[in-house]
Amino acid sequence: MMKKTTLMILILILTLTCFAQEIKKKPLKAAALSFIIPGGGQFYNESYLKFGLVCALEGSLIGLTIYHHFKGEDYYDKYKMTENEQDYNKYIDYYYKKQNDLWWLGVTIFLSTVDAYVDAHLFNFEEKKRDIHFKFDGKSIGFIYNF
């Protein structure tokens, strides 16, 4: 099952790369922009709705991470002064929330980077799609590609 899925994905990727000869956007540049700047690759690829969504999501996660970090530090400072176990437990809670936020931020950055890379490859897909035609004739299937 896994081999079939891998083979199908490989065939799909090879097929798409055969028709993506004329790339108007640079995929590595889009990926780098998306990795460095929240939504940068999506903006470069002119996917403005995705840019807004990625920017809002990554910005929210960065804000939550900072908030949880400072709240945890406040409780840790209280614990150091009073040695109250409840303050230490609150510090631990905020520490785990911060770690969770960082994990989700990393996943979001990774997925937005992959999205920007793929979007740059498929930037002129609609133009190329017009050149490709399948022809169904009886029991045979034909494939026409206009150059």
Give residue 25's pLDDT: 83
CB 29 within 8 A of CB 114: no
Rounded to two decimals, what is the model's pTM? 0.67
pLDDT for the residue 76: 92
Q: What is the mean pLDDT of each run of 10 residues along the chain (147 residues)?
A: 61 54 77 93 92 95 96 92 90 95 96 93 69 65 58
Residue 122: predicted pLDDT: 82
pLDDT at 14: 52
- Res 7: pLDDT: 53
